[in-house]
Structures are given as structure tokens and as C-alpha cells.
Structure 1
Amino acid sequence: MRRLLAPLLALALVLAGGSAAVAAPDERGPDRALLRYATDTWRSMAAMTDPGTGLVADNITGDLAAGGRATYTSPTNIGGYMWSAVVARELGIISPAEARQRIARTLDTLARLKHHTASGMYYNWYDPQDGSVVTVWPDNGNTVYPFLSSVDNGWLAAALNVVKGAVPELRGKADAILRKMNFGFYYNPAASTPFGASGLIAGGFWDAPPPGCSRQRDGVWFTCNHYDITVTEPRIATYLGIAMGQIPPKAYYNTMRTLPATCDWSWHEMQPVGFDTTYEGVSVYEGAYRYRGIQFVPSWGGDMFEALMPDLFVPEARWAPNSWGRNHPATVAGQIEHGMNDAGYGYWGFSPASDPAGGYMAWGVDAMGMDTDGYPSDMERSKYDAGFGDCRPAGPDPDYGDGVVTPHAAFLALPYAKGAVVDNLARLKADFDSYGPGGFYDAIAVGSGTVAKRYLSLDQAMIMGALGNELANDLVRRAFVSPEFERRIRPLIAQETFNVPANQNLPQLVVAG
């Protein structure tokens, strides 16, 4: 197992509530480097997009050849392309006319795509060449049972709101699609958590009977699972449903900050610390985890995507300073601490992405997620087991191996650790064959130097969204947030205090310059 040499240049980074004295990665300054990344990342988005339909493929090979485009796409991918076009316009990468033309073509295609009429929701997989619903998976010929995901439709609706806010000429087309989308269709008032809170959104539904577990309701077949964790990406769908008056506000507090701390629940990652309180008439256990001296509310898998992707659109840290304003910096600090010190990879940023060995993998920081099976940070899938107090003894310390860093995860941290992000990306680019014609490749195994040389439109869109906010004065958030959205969501989330100390001593980081 290769370990990196000790850092050569000290760089103090205070992640919460302070400023950082940061040396730029090159003499031209960090924003110049970030703009270059945006320009190249947009190139991959354009290469993935079918010129006739305006639908972006799910992924493409690293050479950006048209023949390397995947033959399937999702509502999330389609939405990500539209907000990326808005960012590309604002950063001067493409002209306003080109941005309008591209987004209009996508909206026109969306308007004619087959979808579920009663809810206004879109299927999970379409062929980007003709817009047909995918019923046979192109990679292996397996049957696909058309599914309508709550979270994927959430990201599409988020993009439609961005278009409404940023491209006035297309507001009518975007709104015509958005007005039909009813997130209340996913809401199940009877679905409950171990704490007794009732009212959650389902993972999604099929409009015909699928194999496996499903529950028929309202003429469709819903997933048996419901989203019941707070720090996960489905909260974007909950935000939208509440803002649109389709889901009751208390649904935000029905989800769990952690699972219970009792021995009956000792299978999850570690025993949380917390207190009981009430918001919106809902009893809430404000649980938190501790890892490497950092206290935080965990996600399910310990990855950056779950924790920070909704923050691209909703200014969570500013609107809810005592909850998200504490948790987002702590999450970033934990990711950096894991990569730089605990695992000793010398690089950081862990989130679901390509597997350098082939396929796709849910990467993360195992210790920072509630799933005891964890999202690993290395190719060896090393396990972290802190135990569960007196209920379960701790396991052996993990021996981390070939760490897999996913660049999009680092970009998501820009609002909370810009200096560390810029430095991390610059070193990834310099130290590995990790950068191609479309920007950073999707994942890098930093021990072996193995690189997943392809681009995923979702991951590239997260990069574009993060850069739009960083380089264009919160562009994506400003476009997404309407007065009505702010009126309904800001006071709702502002009242909460997570069990995350306001001034906890987040680690300072020593990195190579």
C-alpha cells in the first residue's frame, strides 16, 4: 500500500467561522483556475448532449467521442444540463443566445416526453436520441420496469426553477412543465419512523406492477421504502413539495437526524449523542455522530453528494445557521480529515461516482454515514467500526488502501473550504493523469494512480453548479429561490438547532502547496 510523503508546505485552514490564509495554487489565482475547470467541464456536457433532442446522456468516454455517449438519460441528468447551460452563459463560456437555444430545445423535448399524467412526474430512463422510455437496459439487455423517482424528479424541478429565475424568455415553457409536477403524490402520511413521526415521501413508484416489494396506492405501485433521513439528497423534493403547497411543512421534521441511540438500533454505524426537542409539533431527536473530534449530523452513506448537493440550490447554511450552517462545514472538515490524516491518502473528496476498476460505486467516508456497511473510501472497501457503546464492541482499526477520490465531491465543498478545494484539485491535476478534454475525470484511485476516464453528466453538473455559485455570486441559488420558496422554507428550517457545537474546534489542515 502506497503512502504519500508528508506535506511540504503548511497551510492553515479554518473551516468554520473564520478566514483562511491560502496560497493560490498558481500565480494566476484560484478563480482563474476554477474558470478553466468550468470551461472544460462544460465541454463534456455539450459533448454528451444529443443535438436534435437537447437531452444529455448519462455518461461519455473520456475522449468525448460522440460514439462514447451512453444511450440513456434521467430526469436528474436533463436538469443538470439545463442549470449547467445557465452557468456556462453567466461565466461567458457560451453566449446568451446559445444558452437560450440549448435550454429551449431541452424544454420542448421535455414537453412531449411520455410521463405520468396524474402526477406530472417523469420516468427514470429515456433514450436521449429519440426521447423514448427505456424498457431494455442497453448495457446488458435486462428488462427495465419504468420507474418514477421522487429524488430524480426533484432535481429536474430544481433545474426548471433555475431556468425560470435565470432565463426570463423561457419562464413560460419551464413553468408549464413545473406546474404539472405534484410532489404530494409521493407523500405518504402513514409512513412513520422509529420515533413515531408520520408523513414521509416514497422513493418512487411504477405505473405497472413491478417485481419485488411494492405497495399499491392511487393507481400506481409505490416503493416499500420511504426517505426518512434528514441529511440525504431527497430533501430537495421535500423542500419543493412544501414550497409548492403539496406537502405539509412538518414533513421536514419527520425525517431523522440519526437513528435511535438505544441498543435495539445498535446495527447502525455508531451510538449517537443527542437530545429531544419539538419543531412544528413533531418530536425530534437531535442526534449526532463524532469522528476524529468532529461532531456532525451524518448522512446515510457518509458522502458529499447526500450532504451538500441540495445546498447548491437552497442557501441552507445562511437560512439555517444553527443547523446546516454548522453541519456543512463539519461535514467538509470530516471529509478532509479522513483523506489527509485518518486514511492518509493525501487527497480528499468522496462521493458516489465511477469505479476506477469499472462500473459505478458509492464512495464515501464510512465513519460519517449511518449505514453500517458503509460507503468505502478505498478500493479494498475497508470497514470502520466504532462500536455502539455498551451494545456492540468496536471492531479493529481499518487499514485503508487505495483511496478513491471523486473530484466533484471537492467542488461541492467550495463554500466552506475554498483554499483547500483549490489546492486539492490542483494537486490531483498535477499528480495524476486525471484531467482530460472535459475537465477532471470522474474518479481517481490515488494509491495506484488508476483513473476512471469517463464523465458522468450528474457529477459534471454538480461541478458546474458549484462553480456557478462560487464565481457568479451564488448564481444557481439566486435563480432557484423565488420569494414564495423563501417565504415557506426559510423560517421552517431557521428554527432548528442541530446537536453540532457552534464553535467546535474543526481541524486545521496541513496540505502540500
Structure 2
Amino acid sequence: MIRSRFVIMLGILVLLTSFIVSRIAFANENVHDIALQNQLEAVAKKTYRYFEDFTDPSTGLTYDAVRFQDGEVKEAKYTSPTNIGMYLLSTISAEQLGIISREEAVSRIQKTLNTLEKLEKWNGLFYNWYNTDGTLKTDWGQFISQVDNGWLSAGLIVTGQAYEELFKQTSKLVDAMNYEPLYDPKVGQFRGGYFVDRGELTGHHYGMFYTEPRLASYIAIGKGDVPAEHWWKMYRTLPPEWDWQAQIPTGAFVEYDGVSVFEGHYEYNGVIYVPSWGGSMFEGLMPSLVLKEKELGTNALGLNNKRHVELQIAFAKEKGYPAWGFSPAATPDGYSEFAATPLGTSGYKDNGTVTAYATFLALEYAPEEAYKNIKALKDLNSYDKYGFYDSVNVLTGEVTQAYLSLDQGMIMASIANYLYDGVLRNYFHSDEIGRNPEDLLRKEVFSIQ
């Protein structure tokens, strides 16, 4: 009798202990989540201040960059289709985060849309550079960029779903953006763009799949401007016989929709992955700001995004760096491409330069590591009035005191998606252009399982 009571009491004690431990763990996780949320909201508030202070009040076009150098403020009063698209996404994010009201968001975006309607275009596509007063920046040539127009299309699509009263205006702009003239049907890939003043397409194609132009490809398919087979004509890795690439890939040919695709992969530190061109974070993860790669591409793009985040972190650890996040960014002398070099087909350099936006792109795949990295970047004195300066060299401690609208936009969009369950992706996929090609994301299986 005594023994049975003892066993019962012991069982109750074990259950009680287990309950207490689980509650403590839950409480700790909750505290971490709240701390991260507070941190992100504070960063977003400072980051959006950039768009409030450096957007032309008459046109709604945001400056490309602002530098604080030798006691002077140098404002780059020109912009690109990508910058405009990121301003739209950032303003929607700011409203979602409670930084501005819905009325202010609509008013700001309306001004931008009115300007977009007046801007000079080619086949409905936008030139790559405009002055923020709304005039074409002709001294930089007359180039039409496939990838940059893709980001403007994405911003417009999300805007039309976020604000019903703007849908007619955004749809008209997107429908007019004809990507077909940039497509090479013989190769099944897009050219990089078109020089209007020279009347010629670029000599190169956007052949690599796991790079940022895949968003414009997805949109062009969703619009019906190019055939769906284009998705399968891009290289997951380059063919093994192209022996100049960083690694000779391993894999096999798989057929999708009647197209034979080489599903190849690289390997780094025992982990297999599909490479980007340069090995940078934005090539891999920027499209997932609006594409449901994490949700729908669980055997392909979503899984690969996770691998690239993990490998960027591992690369920094191997190098002994106090922070991670390798991607193109501003430098004291201008702008340069950086990467976790092994992750690229022709990897960009690594010299210890990290950029904050790469951390925020990784939020949904590694929130705890991102939280720690945010603190590490602050410890490197790279955080100020408009959020994080664009880059810091972790070896020298040199901070590039510049803000780029593109990179500020990626931070804003990443925070909104993380805190509000992929809100920008949900808007994008609510539109038929985002919804139509979803099966392309679902059906693929990368050889990295």
C-alpha cells in the first residue's frame, strides 16, 4: 500500500516537473519572441523614416541612396523600377506595422502611381533610371532591365491587392508591361534587357534559375507574356561539362511538363544545395519576399532558401567573423558584390563585408540566429537614425555610412512578412498573376533532399 502510494506520488511529481519545465521553456520562447518582435518593430520604424525623409514629395519617387560623408549629406536624387517597387512594398509594410495610417499609405502610393503613369516607357516597361523629379535620366543611357521591371511589377501587384481602390490603376500599369520583347524563344530564356538608344538586346541571357530575375520570369508567365516552359529552361546548375564553374555538379535529368531539366547540386561542408550565380543572399532570397517559395516550394526553392541561410551562417563561423550576411552592398568607395563565395557558380568575393538586409531576408528561416546577428551588427556601431547603415567590414570595423532604398526596402518587407505571416506574399498570390503559375513552385523536386 505504502509502495503504491509512493509510486503514484512519484508519478505525479514527474508529471509536475515535466509540466513546469515545459512552461519555463514556453515562457523563455515567448520572451524571445516578444524581444525579437520589439526589436523588429523598432528597426522598421527607423528604416521607414528613410522613405519619409528621402522621397520627393511631388512625385513620390524615392532617392536611390543617401550617404553621410565628411560631415555632408549626399543625396542620389534618381531612382529605378526596383527602388519604386520596394517603396510600394515598404509603405504597405509600414501601414501593416502601424507606423503610418492606411490613409497616409494610400495617399503616398497614389502620388507614386500618378507619376508612374506619366513616366516615359518602352512597351509599357520602365527605363532603368529616372530623376526623382520624374524625368528620364538620359545621361545614363536608355536601358530596359528585365529584373528591375519585375520588382516594379511585383510592387504594383501587391499594392492592387492591399488597397482595392488602387487596383484598377495598378492593373492597368502591370497589364501594359510587356515582357515578351525581352524573351528569346530559341533559348527559352530572357535577355538581361534592351538598349533603346542602340536598338539592341543585351548579349547575355538570364540563364541561372536560383537568382533574383526568377521573379520577373514568374510574373511574365503569370501574365501570359511568355510560355510556362520558360521556367524549366533555366539552369538549376550549369551543365556538368561546363568545367569552368566553381564545382562540377552532381545530379540527374528530370522531366517537367515535357522539358528535360538537369536537377544538379553543389556541396559545401557536407551540405548539398543549388547554387546562385554569385553566392549572395539577395540572389537567393529576395524573390521570396513575394513568392510563396517557403510555403509551396517545400521540395525545391523553399528548401534551398533554408540551406543558403544555414550555409551563410556556417561560412561566417568558419571564417571566425562576429556577424554574417553576405550580399552586394554600398562600400566607402561606391558599391560592390559580396557573398559567401562557395555558394555561387562564379562566386563573388568575400572580404569580411556584411550587410544588414541579408539578416532580415533570413528571418523566416533562422529567426533566433537573425536576432543574435541584429545585436552583433549593433555592437559594430552600424545602427543609426535610419536603421542599419548599408554595410560594415567585420575585419576592419569600417562602417559605410550610407543607406540604399533597395536595401531599406528589403528590410521593411522582410519584417512585415515575418511578423504578419507572409502578408506581402499573400497579397501577391491573391492576384491571378501570382496565382496562375503556383503549380510551377509545387511540382519541382531539387536533388538536395
1:161 paired to 2:134: no
2:65 pairs, out of 41, 59, 63, with 59
Provide the C-alpha distance between the structure 2 equivalents of 1:366 and 1:276, rounded to a whole number of angstroms: 26
Provide the C-alpha distance between the structure 2 equivalents of 1:115 and 1:483, rounded to a whole number of angstroms: 24
1:127 pairs, out of 128, 131, 148, with 131
Per-residue deviation, 1:478 = 1.2
Provide the C-alpha distance between the structure 2 equivalents of 1:100 and 1:179, rounded to a whole number of angstroms: 21
- 8 Å contact kept, 1:77–1:457: yes
Provide the C-alpha distance between the structure 2 equivalents of 1:329 and 1:186, rounded to a whole number of angstroms: 31
Q: Which amino acid in the other structure matches residue 351 of structure 1?
A: S
Provide the C-alpha distance between the structure 1 equivalents of 2:200 and 2:27, rounded to a whole number of angstroms: 54
Per-residue deviation, 1:346 = 2.2
In structure 2, the CA distance between the partners of 1:424 and 1:275, relative to structure 1 (3 Å rule), is same
Which whole-Å deviations, capped at 9, do the CAs of 1:378-418 have from their partners, x for residues lacking one? Answer: 1xxxxxxxxxxxxxxxxxxxxxxxx1111101100011001
Which whole-Å deviations, capped at 9, do the CAs of 1:51-92 have from their partners, x for residues lacking one? Answer: 1111001101249x9953202110100111111000001110
- 8 Å contact kept, 1:349–1:407: yes
Q: TM-score, normalised by structure 2?
A: 0.91
Provide the C-alpha distance between the structure 1 equivalents of 2:33 and 2:126, rounded to a whole number of angstroms: 47
1:258 paired to 2:237: yes
Paired residues for 1:242-391 under 5 Å: 242-262=221-241, 265-340=242-317, 342-355=318-331, 357-371=332-346, 374-378=347-351
Provide the C-alpha distance between the structure 2 equivalents of 1:24 and 1:57, rounded to a whole number of angstroms: 39
In structure 2, the CA distance between the partners of 1:483 and 1:134, relative to structure 1 (3 Å rule), is closer
Provide the C-alpha distance between the structure 1 equivalents of 2:90 and 2:131, rounded to a whole number of angstroms: 20
Provide the C-alpha distance between the structure 1 equivalents of 2:43 and 2:104, rounded to a whole number of angstroms: 20
- 8 Å contact kept, 1:24–1:30: no
- 8 Å contact kept, 1:55–1:106: yes
Provide the C-alpha distance between the structure 1 equivalents of 2:328 and 2:391, rounded to a whole number of angstroms: 9
Provide the C-alpha distance between the structure 1 equivalents of 2:233 and 2:159, rounded to a whole number of angstroms: 30
- 8 Å contact kept, 1:317–1:323: no
Residue equivalent to 1:181: 177
Residue equivalent to 1:423: 372
RMSD of Structure 2 on Structure 1 (CA): 2.0
Which whole-Å deviations, capped at 9, do the CAs of 1:338-388 have from their partners, x for residues lacking one? Answer: 012x21112111111112x321011111110001xx21121xxxxxxxxxx
Q: Which amino acid in the other structure matches residue 375 of structure 1?
A: Y
- 8 Å contact kept, 1:202–1:227: yes
The gaps in structure 2 that reach 5 residues or longer are 1-24
In structure 2, the CA distance between the partners of 1:26 and 1:500, relative to structure 1 (3 Å rule), is closer
The gaps in structure 1 that reach 5 residues or longer are 1-18, 137-143, 192-198, 210-219, 379-402, 502-513
Per-residue deviation, 1:123 = 0.4
Structure 1 range deviating more: 19-28 or 175-184:
19-28
Which whole-Å deviations, capped at 9, do the CAs of 1:86-137 have from their partners, x for residues lacking one? Answer: 0001110011111111100000011001111xx2000000000x2111122x
Q: Which amino acid in the other structure matches residue 329 of structure 1?
A: K
Q: Which amino acid in the other structure matches residue 407 of structure 2?
A: D
Provide the C-alpha distance between the structure 1 equivalents of 2:138 and 2:414, rounded to a whole number of angstroms: 33
1:48 paired to 2:54: yes
- 8 Å contact kept, 1:309–1:412: yes
Q: Which amino acid in the other structure matches residue 324 of structure 2?
A: W
Per-residue deviation, 1:190 = 1.4
Computing the radius of gyration over CA atoms, which structure comes out larger, 1 or 2?
2
- 8 Å contact kept, 1:165–1:171: yes
Residue equivalent to 1:145: 141
Residue equivalent to 1:214: none
| SS of corresponding position for 2:322 | coil
Bigger relative contact order (CA 8 A; separation at least 6): 1
| SS of corresponding position for 2:426 | helix
1:204 pairs, out of 178, 193, 213, with 193
Structure 1 range deviating more: 327-336 or 54-63:
54-63
In structure 2, the CA distance between the partners of 1:25 and 1:76, relative to structure 1 (3 Å rule), is farther
- 8 Å contact kept, 2:79–2:129: yes
Which whole-Å deviations, capped at 9, do the CAs of 1:286-340 have from their partners, x for residues lacking one? Answer: 1101011211000000001010011010111211211113211111011000012
Per-residue deviation, 1:491 = 1.1
| SS of corresponding position for 1:50 | coil
Per-residue deviation, 1:207 = 1.6
In structure 2, the CA distance between the partners of 1:20 and 1:497, relative to structure 1 (3 Å rule), is farther
Which whole-Å deviations, capped at 9, do the CAs of 1:199-241 have from their partners, x for residues lacking one? Answer: 11110102221xxxxxxxxxx4111111111101000111001
2:217 pairs, out of 225, 231, 238, with 238
- 8 Å contact kept, 1:165–1:478: no
Per-residue deviation, 1:487 = 4.3
Which whole-Å deviations, capped at 9, do the CAs of 1:176-213 have from their partners, x for residues lacking one? Answer: 2112111122111013xxxxxxx11110102221xxxx
Provide the C-alpha distance between the structure 2 equivalents of 1:267 and 1:21, rounded to a whole number of angstroms: 52
Provide the C-alpha distance between the structure 2 equivalents of 1:102 and 1:317, rounded to a whole number of angstroms: 30
Structure 1 range deviating more: 414-423 or 470-479:
470-479
- Judging by fraction of residues, say which structure has more helix: 2
Runs of 4+ displaced beyond 6 Å? 19-27
Q: Which amino acid in the other structure matches residue 128 of structure 2?
A: N
Per-residue deviation, 1:22 = 8.0
Provide the C-alpha distance between the structure 2 equivalents of 1:292 and 1:497, rounded to a whole number of angstroms: 22
Provide the C-alpha distance between the structure 2 equivalents of 1:440 and 1:288, rounded to a whole number of angstroms: 34
Residue equivalent to 2:203: 224
Per-residue deviation, 1:155 = 0.2
- 8 Å contact kept, 1:151–1:237: yes
| SS of corresponding position for 2:436 | helix
Provide the C-alpha distance between the structure 1 equivalents of 2:432 and 2:165, rounded to a whole number of angstroms: 21
- 8 Å contact kept, 2:48–2:386: yes
Per-residue deviation, 1:483 = 5.0
- 8 Å contact kept, 1:54–1:109: yes
Residue equivalent to 1:407: 356
Provide the C-alpha distance between the structure 1 equivalents of 2:34 and 2:87, rounded to a whole number of angstroms: 29
Provide the C-alpha distance between the structure 1 equivalents of 2:135 and 2:248, rounded to a whole number of angstroms: 47
Provide the C-alpha distance between the structure 1 equivalents of 2:272 and 2:428, rounded to a whole number of angstroms: 30
In structure 2, the CA distance between the partners of 1:480 and 1:27, relative to structure 1 (3 Å rule), is closer
Q: Which amino acid in the other structure matches residue 424 of structure 1?
A: N
- Identity %, equivalent residues: 41
Which whole-Å deviations, capped at 9, do the CAs of 1:456-475 have from their partners, x for residues lacking one? Answer: 00001011110110112211
